[in-house]
Structure 1
Amino acid sequence: MFRSQSWAVFVTLTILGLTAGAGGVAAMGTDDGGPALNRQVETPTDDNETQQENPDSVSDGEYGDETAAWLARTMGGRLENSSIALSNDQYDQARSVLGDDYDKRLEQYVDVAGDTSSATDDTAAREFEAARENQRNLTNEVQRYRQQYTAYQAARERGNESKARITARAMERTASNISDRSRELNRNFERIENTTSVDLSSGQTEINETTENITTTQAVIREETLVGTTLTVQAIDSTASFSDPGTVSGQIRTENGSVIADEVVELRIGNRTQTVRTDASGVFESQYRPRSARLGSQSVPVKYVPDTDSVYLSDDTTFTIDVKQVTPNATSDIAPGTVGYGDRFDATASVTVESRGVDGVPVEFTVGDTVVARTTTGPNGTATASTRAPASVNDGERVVVARVPYENRAIAGVQSETPVVVVETQTTLSVSASRTDDGALARGQLQTVAGDPVAGRPVRLQVGAGGTQLVETNRNGSFQTVLEYPQNNETVTVTATYDEPSSNLGNATATTTLAAGAGGGNPPVGSDSDRDLLIDTLVAILFGSDENPEVAFGNGIIGYSWLPVLGGGVALAVVVGAWFIVSRRRQSQDVNATSSVEATEVSMSGPDQATTPSNATSPTFADRVDTYLDGGDYDAAAMVAYTAVHDELAVKNGIDEGATHWELLQQSQEHGVPEERMADIETVVEAFETAAFAPTSVDPSRAEAAVERARKIKSNGDQ
Structure 2
Amino acid sequence: MAITVGAAATGDVTAAQPVAEQSPSFGTIVQQSPAGEAENGTSENRTDHHRNPTNVSGDGSPSAVKRWLAGSMARRLEGSAINLSQSNYQLASSVLGEGFGDDLDRYVNVAGDTDSPQDDQVARTFNETHQTQKQYTAQVSEFERLSAAYQAAREAGEIERARRLAKRLARLATAINETGRTLVGRYDALSNATGASLDDGRQAVLDTTNRTVADAQRVVDLSLVRTELRITSVSPTASYDEPLVITGRYVAANGTAVGDTAVALAAPGPGSQTTTAANGSFRLTHRPTDLETGVRNLTVTATPDDASVYLPATTSITADISSIEPRITFAAVFDRIAYDESRAVAVDVTVSDRPAGGVPVEITLDGTTLATGRTTESGTFQSTVGLPATVQNGTIELTAHAGAAGQALSEVSATRRVIVEPTPTTLSLDTANGSVIRVQGRLTTVDGGSVPDQPLDLSVDGVVVETVRTNASGWFAASTDGNGVAIGDAVTVTAVYDQPTTNLGPSQASAIGELTPRGLNGQEGAAGPNDSGGGLAGLPWGRLLNPIVVGAGVVSVASLLVAGYFWRRRSPTRAEPAPQSDQFETETTQSPAPTTVTLADVETVLERDGADAAVVSLYTVVGQYASADTRPDRTPRERYRAVRDTLSAEQSSTFQRVTALYEQAVFAPETVSPDRIKDTIAAVRQGFVDDGNAPADD
Q: Report the TM range for the smaller structure's normalisation.
A: 0.5 to 0.7
Quickly say closer, same or farther: Cα 1:510–1:717, change in 2 above 3 A.
Answer: closer
- Whole-Å separation in 1 of the counterparts to 2:387 and 2:612: 14
Q: 2:455 aligns with which of 438, 454, 458?
A: 458
Question: Once the two structures are superposed, what CA deviation does each residue of 1:84-139 show, in whole Å capped at 9, x if it has no partner?
Answer: 55446565665565456655654553344243254432221221221122122212
Determine the structure 2 residue equivalent to 1:295.
293
- Whole-Å separation in 2 of the counterparts to 1:498 and 1:598: 20
Q: CA deviation at 1:679?
A: 10
Contact 1:431 1:512 in 2 (8 A): yes
Determine the structure 2 residue equivalent to 1:265.
261
Contact 2:337 2:420 in 1 (8 A): yes
Determine the structure 2 residue equivalent to 1:213.
211
Q: Does 1:508 align with 2:507?
A: yes
Bigger Cα displacement from structure 2, 239-248 vs 69-78: 69-78
1:128 match: secondary structure:
helix
Determine the structure 1 residue equivalent to 2:643.
none
What pairs up with 1:110-259 in 2 under 5 angstroms? Answer: 110-233=108-231, 235-252=233-250, 254-255=252-253, 258-259=254-255
Would you tell me which structure has more helix in proportion to its own residues? Answer: 1
Q: 1:415 aligns with which of 390, 413, 424?
A: 413
Determine the structure 2 residue equivalent to 1:687.
none
Q: 2:446 aligns with which of 449, 458, 476?
A: 449
- Whole-Å separation in 1 of the counterparts to 2:51 and 2:431: 45
Contact 1:365 1:403 in 2 (8 A): yes
**TM-score normalised over the length of structure 2:** 0.66
Determine the structure 2 residue equivalent to 1:310.
308
Question: Once the two structures are superposed, what CA deviation does each residue of 1:608-637 show, in whole Å capped at 9, x if it has no partner?
Answer: xxxxxxxxxxxxxxxxxxxxxxxxxxxxxx
1:291 match: secondary structure:
coil
Q: 1:364 aligns with which of 354, 359, 362?
A: 362
Contact 1:235 1:320 in 2 (8 A): no
Q: CA deviation at 1:187?
A: 1.6
Determine the structure 2 residue equivalent to 1:330.
328
Q: CA deviation at 1:352?
A: 3.1
- Whole-Å separation in 2 of the counterparts to 1:78 and 1:466: 53
What pairs up with 1:611-622 in 2 under 5 angstroms? Answer: none
Quickly say closer, same or farther: Cα 1:218–1:389, change in 2 above 3 A.
Answer: same
Q: CA deviation at 1:228?
A: 2.6
Determine the structure 1 residue equivalent to 2:317.
319
- Whole-Å separation in 1 of the counterparts to 2:583 and 2:201: 34
Determine the structure 1 residue equivalent to 2:497.
498
**TM-score normalised over the length of structure 1:** 0.65
Determine the structure 2 residue equivalent to 1:29.
34
What code does the residue aligned with 1:526 have?
A: G
Question: Once the two structures are superposed, what CA deviation does each residue of 1:290-331 show, in whole Å capped at 9, x if it has no partner?
Answer: 111111222222223233233333332222222122222323
Contact 1:41 1:70 in 2 (8 A): yes
Determine the structure 1 residue equivalent to 2:640.
none
- Whole-Å separation in 2 of the counterparts to 1:122 and 1:342: 43
Question: Once the two structures are superposed, what CA deviation does each residue of 1:437-456 show, in whole Å capped at 9, x if it has no partner?
Answer: 9x987654423334443222
Q: Does 1:528 align with 2:544?
A: yes
Contact 1:424 1:505 in 2 (8 A): yes
Quickly say closer, same or farther: Cα 1:374–1:334, change in 2 above 3 A.
Answer: same
What code does the residue aligned with 1:529 have?
A: L
1:501 match: secondary structure:
coil
Question: Once the two structures are superposed, what CA deviation does each residue of 1:134-159 show, in whole Å capped at 9, x if it has no partner?
Answer: 12221232232223212322232233
Bigger Cα displacement from structure 2, 154-163 vs 271-280: 271-280
What code does the residue aligned with 1:79 have?
A: L
Question: Once the two structures are superposed, what CA deviation does each residue of 1:171-214 show, in whole Å capped at 9, x if it has no partner?
Answer: 11000101111111122222222222544444434433332321
Question: Once the two structures are superposed, what CA deviation does each residue of 1:232-264 show, in whole Å capped at 9, x if it has no partner?
Answer: 436543211111113233344544xx4343734
- Whole-Å separation in 2 of the counterparts to 1:517 and 1:311: 78
What code does the residue aligned with 1:410 have?
A: A
Q: CA deviation at 1:470?
A: 3.9
Q: CA deviation at 1:495?
A: 3.6
- Whole-Å separation in 2 of the counterparts to 1:484 and 1:336: 49
Contact 1:426 1:449 in 2 (8 A): yes
Determine the structure 2 residue equivalent to 1:376.
374
Determine the structure 2 residue equivalent to 1:353.
351
Determine the structure 1 residue equivalent to 2:18.
none
Q: Does 1:277 align with 2:287?
A: no
- Whole-Å separation in 1 of the counterparts to 2:52 and 2:262: 67
Quickly say closer, same or farther: Cα 1:530–1:243, change in 2 above 3 A.
Answer: closer
- Whole-Å separation in 1 of the counterparts to 2:119 and 2:512: 47
- Whole-Å separation in 1 of the counterparts to 2:113 and 2:48: 22
1:453 match: secondary structure:
coil
Determine the structure 2 residue equivalent to 1:388.
386
Quickly say closer, same or farther: Cα 1:348–1:666, change in 2 above 3 A.
Answer: farther
Q: CA deviation at 1:505?
A: 1.0
Contact 2:230 2:248 in 1 (8 A): yes
- Whole-Å separation in 2 of the counterparts to 1:357 and 1:37: 76
Determine the structure 2 residue equivalent to 1:693.
none
Contact 2:334 2:345 in 1 (8 A): no
Contact 2:349 2:355 in 1 (8 A): yes
- Whole-Å separation in 2 of the counterparts to 1:180 and 1:467: 54
Contact 2:332 2:346 in 1 (8 A): yes
Contact 1:121 1:195 in 2 (8 A): no
Question: Once the two structures are superposed, what CA deviation does each residue of 1:408-447 show, in whole Å capped at 9, x if it has no partner?
Answer: 111222333455443322222345678999x987654423
- Whole-Å separation in 2 of the counterparts to 1:194 and 1:461: 50
Quickly say closer, same or farther: Cα 1:219–1:79, change in 2 above 3 A.
Answer: same
Question: Once the two structures are superposed, what CA deviation does each residue of 1:478-513 show, in whole Å capped at 9, x if it has no partner?
Answer: 153658945668765444321111211110123345
- Whole-Å separation in 2 of the counterparts to 1:265 and 1:453: 51
Quickly say closer, same or farther: Cα 1:178–1:552, change in 2 above 3 A.
Answer: closer
Q: CA deviation at 1:459?
A: 1.7
Question: Once the two structures are superposed, what CA deviation does each residue of 1:591-610 show, in whole Å capped at 9, x if it has no partner?
Answer: xxx99679987xxxxxxxxx
- Whole-Å separation in 2 of the counterparts to 1:709 and 1:287: 38
2:505 match: secondary structure:
coil
Determine the structure 1 residue equivalent to 2:8.
none
2:350 match: secondary structure:
strand
Quickly say closer, same or farther: Cα 1:545–1:320, change in 2 above 3 A.
Answer: closer
Question: What is the aligned residue count?
Answer: 567
Contact 1:300 1:318 in 2 (8 A): yes
Name stretches of at least 5 consecutive residues in structure 1 with no aligned partner.
1-26, 45-50, 56-61, 555-581, 587-593, 602-651, 685-700
Contact 2:614 2:677 in 1 (8 A): no
Q: What is the root-mean-square deviation in Å for CA atoms of aligned residues? A: 5.1
Quickly say closer, same or farther: Cα 1:290–1:151, change in 2 above 3 A.
Answer: same
Contact 1:469 1:483 in 2 (8 A): no
Contact 1:65 1:118 in 2 (8 A): no
Bigger Cα displacement from structure 2, 464-473 vs 663-672: 663-672
Bigger Cα displacement from structure 2, 338-347 vs 236-245: 338-347
Contact 2:327 2:351 in 1 (8 A): yes
Contact 2:350 2:356 in 1 (8 A): yes
- Whole-Å separation in 2 of the counterparts to 1:517 and 1:717: 39
